[in-house]
């Protein structure tokens, strides 16, 4: 079984990104002729828990041909991961079980195989790449050791042969210095590098199918682009079929050949990427696509959203699962709609699919409301940050008392925010954006520089008063609310602490008022956080921030933990509150499209410095700094037609360690335009046009 031609070493030349579109067109035709590699038929998965049965997957069927990239799209809990784990027979035991269905892989039903035979296929014929590269590798085994395992287990290679193959694989996935990597451990590598190792592990035995479960969700956008380009390139070159599970429609549009959209355990729409994006025929798909803020279209006044939340899969409603949230609902929706053909190769599970198809085939009509104007130029300055520096000392080096190194988390940042304005702060993880937020909240003392709130230095001001005026909305609504306090206690606590309301009854009244303001029902006051959905929890977080009537709110990634359809609701709420209450926002995020939607001005950060600062439209229309340009290129747009025409430039390399910052311009090591000059001096943030600043000597 380990005949040498089973693992021919594929050529390891540079990634052929230039000819991607050509490759894709050619192989699609070839693909359609070949028989299915995997045919899933009527898959049902249940999770049996003490409090009931969750029907996680119901009647999912799809087919996949060799070399095809299929995307499984949907929001959290829709059953996409359960489908993948069921195919791998890795559902968590004993709760997860496949109750019905077949999964024919090369003509053999995976679901009926004895465990020993299934084990032989896992890692050899079917490989899986997981979401979290940080936790998916064993921390105490070396990279080489972990990569060799499938080779030793499946191909009975000798250790020398396996080691040779591993070096080859590491080269193939673009890791430098592969020989040295063998001895390294996961904690030596960055997230992107670990995900490359995971991909190498998946490729080890030349599988026919790779299932990637949210492979880039945990990664920064420039790294995400690198990883996905790599995966697509490998799939095309080695003719590997791929199932990409994701909630990111941009990725789907850029990389998938065919798309399956799942909602509440069922497939609701199925077709090619062009079918799904250009001629969507299910209201959920339409809603999902509309609710993403888009970089390729003018900003809309409000984000379109899907109201409501997905049904509970322990007790799903009868009929169409989406009916409760659907704007096109009719009486017939009380009956289960079958997944029916709307045009050749394109299926949708909606009674009105044909109508909807006819409608979406026409141009998209933008929601034509007036975009709120930016605050007047003479509005008072609320927040003023001057040459802010925050350096951390970390122990490093050797010797008796250890050497120490300085991490420049924030290094000379300055900006103003006017009343009623939203300043978006974007950048990849570790660029210092949250550190700035913490400094403004007076939760951290800067190393140097000053922060003025309403003209008053927060270093001199009474901390309590500054805290009252500056509030925060956190990223993770799951861990930022105390699980043992009710909603009313959470929102009322700051009122009691600051003695803003005289008695308990008045506090209660104010809590109710705040709940109303953020769109929660009065009865939710007595609920505990775990009884609420993610979107509702984030609304509680917003109500808590509003309780003290602040003038400035630091929003630290307030929507990045939420599903797309919920994200829109929260962004709209923040927008409304700003207009109603005249709030000033510092909006920290890594999602460029969300930032564009909500911000008046945007600052792009990289390694503790602002690279570019301009008003929203200028920055997105005419980015001057090469880093901003790369960021915008790396972000995929949910439209396959546009994506096919773009030739995304991919930022090279990894984010440098903040301990060893590059000399001169911090971006020079990854910049496509960098020359020797760039590493000589740190470029200052200088005006390149009216109100448009960039820190680059080339512009």
Partner 1 sequence: MLTYLAKRLLLMIPTLLGAAALIFFMLRVVPGDVVEVKLRADGASVTQEVIDAERSRLGLDKPLPEQFATWLVGLVELDPGLSMWTGRSVVDEMSIRLPLSMQVAIMGALIATLMAVPMGTLSALYRDSPIDYLLRVFSLVGLAVPAFWFGMVMILLLLWLFNWLPPVIYTPFWVDPVANLSQLIWPALVVGIRYAAVVARMVRSSVVEVMKEDYIRTARAKGLDEKAVVIRHAMKNAMLPAITVIGLEFAFLMGGLVVTEQVFNLNGIGQLFVQAVAHRDFVLVQNIVMFIAVVFVLTNLVVDLLYAALDPRIRYR
Residues of this chain that interact with partner 1 (CB under 8 A) are 88, 90, 119-124, 127-128, 130, 132, 135-142, 149-150, 153-154, 185, 187, 198, 201, 395, 397-400, 402
Beta carbons of 554 and 383 less than 8 angstroms apart: no
Please report how close the Cβ of residue 82 comes to partner 1 at its closest, in angstroms: 13
CA–centroid distance for 522 within its chain = 32
Please report how close the Cβ of residue 53 comes to partner 1 at its closest, in angstroms: 19
Q: Where are the beta strands (DSSP E) in 399-476?
A: 403-418, 422-426, 448-453, 456-457, 470-473
Please report how close the Cβ of residue 40 comes to partner 1 at its closest, in angstroms: 18
Please report how close the Cβ of residue 80 comes to partner 1 at its closest, in angstroms: 16
Closest Cα to residue 281, out of 337, 242, 335?
337
Burial class of residue 380, CB neighbours in 10 A (0-12, 13-18, 19+): exposed
User: If you compute the radius of gyration of the chain from its CA atoms, what whole number of angstroms results?
Assistant: 26
Number of Cα atoms under 13 Å in the Cβ half of residue 456 = 12
Q: Decide whether 121 or 282 has the Cβ nearer to partner 1.
A: 121
Please report how close the Cβ of residue 158 comes to partner 1 at its closest, in angstroms: 18
Q: Decide whether 72 or 268 has the Cβ nearer to partner 1.
A: 72
Distance, CA of 93 to CA of 436 (rounded, Å): 44
Q: H/E/C letters for each residue in 548-598?
A: CCCCEEEEECCCCCCCHHHHHHHHHHHHHHHHHHCCEEEEEECCHHHHHHH
Rounded to the nearest 10°, the torsion over CA 440, 442, 447, 452 is: 50
Distance, CA of 550 to CA of 544 (rounded, Å): 11
Q: Decide whether 88 or 515 has the Cβ nearer to partner 1.
A: 88
Q: Decide whether 154 or 254 has the Cβ nearer to partner 1.
A: 154
Cα torsion angle, 119, 123, 124, 129, sign: positive
Q: Decide whether 143 or 666 has the Cβ nearer to partner 1.
A: 143
Distance, CA of 670 to CA of 431 (rounded, Å): 15
State how far the alpha carbon of 135 is from the alpha carbons of 81, 398, 590, 677, in Å.
Answer: 17, 29, 22, 40
Please report how close the Cβ of residue 168 comes to partner 1 at its closest, in angstroms: 18
Q: Decide whether 9 or 135 has the Cβ nearer to partner 1.
A: 135
Q: Decide whether 219 or 264 has the Cβ nearer to partner 1.
A: 219
Distance, CA of 170 to CA of 314 (rounded, Å): 44
Please report how close the Cβ of residue 149 comes to partner 1 at its closest, in angstroms: 6
Burial class of residue 160, CB neighbours in 10 A (0-12, 13-18, 19+): exposed
Q: Decide whether 33 or 93 has the Cβ nearer to partner 1.
A: 93
Please report how close the Cβ of residue 290 comes to partner 1 at its closest, in angstroms: 34
Strand partners, 41: 102
Please report how close the Cβ of residue 152 comes to partner 1 at its closest, in angstroms: 10
Please report how close the Cβ of residue 92 comes to partner 1 at its closest, in angstroms: 9
Q: Decide whether 216 or 422 has the Cβ nearer to partner 1.
A: 216
Distance, CA of 488 to CA of 43 (rounded, Å): 43
Please report how close the Cβ of residue 113 comes to partner 1 at its closest, in angstroms: 12
Please report how close the Cβ of residue 299 comes to partner 1 at its closest, in angstroms: 38
Residue 529 DSSP one-character state:
G
Beta carbons of 116 and 240 less than 8 angstroms apart: no
Please report how close the Cβ of residue 76 comes to partner 1 at its closest, in angstroms: 17
Rounded to the nearest 10°, the torsion over CA 543, 545, 551, 553 is: -120
Please report how close the Cβ of residue 212 comes to partner 1 at its closest, in angstroms: 11
Beta carbons of 669 and 653 less than 8 angstroms apart: yes
- Angle formed by the axes of helices 221-238 and 20-33, to 10°? 50
Q: Decide whether 327 or 399 has the Cβ nearer to partner 1.
A: 399
Distance, CA of 253 to CA of 211 (rounded, Å): 18
Q: What are phi and psi of 638, to 5 degrees?
A: -75, 65
361: tokens are: 């085939």
Q: What are phi and psi of 129, to 5 degrees?
A: -115, 130
Q: Decide whether 121 or 433 has the Cβ nearer to partner 1.
A: 121
Q: Decide whether 127 or 595 has the Cβ nearer to partner 1.
A: 127
Distance, CA of 241 to CA of 21 (rounded, Å): 17
Q: Decide whether 119 or 646 has the Cβ nearer to partner 1.
A: 119
Q: Decide whether 127 or 602 has the Cβ nearer to partner 1.
A: 127
């Amino acid at each position: 079984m380990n005949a040498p031609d089973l693992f021919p070493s594929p050529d390891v030349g540079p990634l052929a990104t230039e000819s991607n579109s050509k490759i894709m067109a050619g192989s699609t035709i070839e693909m359609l002729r070949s028989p299915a590699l995997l045919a899933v038929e009527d898959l049902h998965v249940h999770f049996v828990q003490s409090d009931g049965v969750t029907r996680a997957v119901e009647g999912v069927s799809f087919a996949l041909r060799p070399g095809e990239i299929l995307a499984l799209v949907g929001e959290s809990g829709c059953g996409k991961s359960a489908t993948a784990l069921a195919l791998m027979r890795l559902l968590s035991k004993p709760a997860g079980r496949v109750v019905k269905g077949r999964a024919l892989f090369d003509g053999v039903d995976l679901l009926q195989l004895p465990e020993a035979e299934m084990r032989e296929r896992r890692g050899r014929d079917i490989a899986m790449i997981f979401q979290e590269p940080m936790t998916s590798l064993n921390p105490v085994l070396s990279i080489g050791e972990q990569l060799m395992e499938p080779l030793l287990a499946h191909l009975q290679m000798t250790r020398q042969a396996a080691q040779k193959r591993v070096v080859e694989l590491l080269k193939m996935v673009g890791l430098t210095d592969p020989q040295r990597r063998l001895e390294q451990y996961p904690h030596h590598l960055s997230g992107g590098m670990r995900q490359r190792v995971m991909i190498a592990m998946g490729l080890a035995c030349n599988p026919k199918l790779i299932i990637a479960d949210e492979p880039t969700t945990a990664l920064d956008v420039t790294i995400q682009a690198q990883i996905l380009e790599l995966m697509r390139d490998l799939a095309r070159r080695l003719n590997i079929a791929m199932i990409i599970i994701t909630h990111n429609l941009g990725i789907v549009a850029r990389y998938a050949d065919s798309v399956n959209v799942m909602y509440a355990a069922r497939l609701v729409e199925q077709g090619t990427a062009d079918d799904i994006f250009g001629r969507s025929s299910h209201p959920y798909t339409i809603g999902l696509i509309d609710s993403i803020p888009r970089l390729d279209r003018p900003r809309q006044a409000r984000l379109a959203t899907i109201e409501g939340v997905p049904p509970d899969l322990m007790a799903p409603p009868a009929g169409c699962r989406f009916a409760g949230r659907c704007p096109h609902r009719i009486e017939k929706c009380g009956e289960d709609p079958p997944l029916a053909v709307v045009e050749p190769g394109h299926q949708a599970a909606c009674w009105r699919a044909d109508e909807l198809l006819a409608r979406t085939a026409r141009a998209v009509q933008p929601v034509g409301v007036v975009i709120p104007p930016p605050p007047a130029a003479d509005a008072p300055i609320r927040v003023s940050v001057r040459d802010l520096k925050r350096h951390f000392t970390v122990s490093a080096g050797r010797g008796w008392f250890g050497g120490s190194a300085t991490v420049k988390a924030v290094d000379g940042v300055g900006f103003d925010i006017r009343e009623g304005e939203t300043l978006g702060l974007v950048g990849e993880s570790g660029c210092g954006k949250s550190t700035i937020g913490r400094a403004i909240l007076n939760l951290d003392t800067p190393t140097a520089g000053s922060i003025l709130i309403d003209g008053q230095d927060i270093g001199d001001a009474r901390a309590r008063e500054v805290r009252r005026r500056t509030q925060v909305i956190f990223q993770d609504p799951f861990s930022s609310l105390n699980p043992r306090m009710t909603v009313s206690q959470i929102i009322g606590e700051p009122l009691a602490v600051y003695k803003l309301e005289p008695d308990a009854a008045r506090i209660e009244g104010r809590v109710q008022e705040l709940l109303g303001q953020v769109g929660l029902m009065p009865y939710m006051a007595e609920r505990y956080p775990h009884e609420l959905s993610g979107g509702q929890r984030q609304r509680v977080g917003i109500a808590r921030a509003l309780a003290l009537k602040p003038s400035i709110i630091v929003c630290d990634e307030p929507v990045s933990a939420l599903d797309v359809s919920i994200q829109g609701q929260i962004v709209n709420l923040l927008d409304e509150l700003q207009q109603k209450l005249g709030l000033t926002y510092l909006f920290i995020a890594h999602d460029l499209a969300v930032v564009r939607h909500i911000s008046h001005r945007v600052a792009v950060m990289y390694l503790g410095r602002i690279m570019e600062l301009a008003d929203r439209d200028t920055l997105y229309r005419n980015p001057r700094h090469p880093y901003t340009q790369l960021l915008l290129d790396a972000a995929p747009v949910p439209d396959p037609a546009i994506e096919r025409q773009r030739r995304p430039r991919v930022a090279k390399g990894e984010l440098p360690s903040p301990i060893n910052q590059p000399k001169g311009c911090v971006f020079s090591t990854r910049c496509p335009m960098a020359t020797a000059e760039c590493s000589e001096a740190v470029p200052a943030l200088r005006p390149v046009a009216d109100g448009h600043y960039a820190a680059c000597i080339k512009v």
